[in-house]
Amino acid sequence: MAPDDHAGRLGEEFFTPGTSSFTEFLAAHRPELLSTRRVLPDGVRAEGAPHGTTVLALTYGDGVLIAGDRRATMGHLIAQRDLEKVHPADDHTAVAFAGSVGLALDLVKLCQVELNHFEKIEGTPMTLAAKATRLATMIRNNLGQAMQGLAVVPLLAGYDPAAPEGGRGRIFGFDVAGGRYEKYGFHAEGSGSPYARGALKKLFRPGLSRREATLAALQALYDAADDDSATGGPDLTRRIYPVVSVITEDGFERLSEAETEELSREMVEQRRGRPDGPNAGV
């Protein structure tokens, strides 16, 4: 048989029983395709790569909300004003990221494929806790590059139908070494996260409506942009607003541009009378 008679055919590895993890399959057969496994030469550090901040999540009455500003910076320069930092991972899970933009986008795509591959192989969706563990493993595989300046710190939020009523919106944070931590109520990542968490600490309360949760997220991102130059606030002139998405029993939904714009303008108008934002409820 001529050598190119096999051209276009799948290799034997595709028909051999193995792991339900797409990442492990790729690592075994085509490791060069995994961007999280590539390490820079010794002594080399990545300088000037675009970085994205700030992202946050909070639970509310119907599930969980996840949001992010749109700015990416490259040193002291604004590299991009309309970066998308919040992405669906599957129907009931979303991932947002802070850190090295190129690697983060690769990590998001790999996470999407990983969850889809598992469901096709096993015939059932992965549990939310297992999704967080798989994402933690991907981050740990990127540790070499993180130590050379290409760190990615994602935020995972999802709706867990197996959780008790009132606690089905769940949030997971991570560190650059792949540590996985469940967060309760709210959490934020990125260089503006201390200011965003401070705002959410005074604005969050259990059982918020979707509108209240969205306004709280927008207020938190505004506070982050107010004190962190790497975080971008709502740009009314260019009509660039934060990305806000919710995950409920009905699945993932990104708020429309019209809804986000309306609430962003309402929030900015409130700030004209109270520049430091609303007080904590008593």
pLDDT tens string 61-96: 999 999 999 999 998 899 999 999 999 999 999 999
Q: Compute the distance between CA of residue 5 and CA of residue 98 in angstroms, rounded to an integer.
A: 47
Output DSSP code: residue 35. G
Phi, psi of 45 (to 5 degrees): -120, 140
What share of the chain in percent tops pLDDT 70?
A: 82
Phi, psi of 236 (to 5 degrees): -70, -30
1: confidence class by pLDDT, cuts 50, 70, 90: very low
Per-residue pLDDT, 154: 95
53 tagged catalytic: yes
Q: Which residues make Cβ contacts (< 8 Å) with residue 200, sequence separation at least 6?
A: 56, 58, 185, 186, 188, 216, 217, 220
pLDDT over 70 (residue 165):
yes
196: confidence class by pLDDT, cuts 50, 70, 90: very high
User: If you write DSSP's letter for every residue of 153-177 in order, what string do you get?
Assistant: EEEEEEE-TTSPTT--EEEEEE-TT
pLDDT over 50 (residue 2):
no
pLDDT over 90 (residue 246):
yes
What are the tens digits of pLDDT across the range 173-185? Answer: 999 999 999 999 9
CB atoms within 10 A of CB 80: 15
Q: Compute the distance between CA of residue 275 and CA of residue 89 in angstroms, rounded to an integer.
A: 36
pLDDT over 60 (residue 5):
no
Q: What is the mean pLDDT of the chain?
A: 87
Per-residue pLDDT, 117: 83
Per-residue pLDDT, 148: 80
Residue predicted with more confidence, 234 or 26: 234
Per-residue pLDDT, 36: 59
Catalytic hit among 23, 36, 53, 260 = 53
Residue predicted with more confidence, 27 or 52: 52
Task: Identify the bridge partners of residue 171 per DSSP, sorted by sequence position.
Answer: 157, 183
Rg (CA), the chain: 20
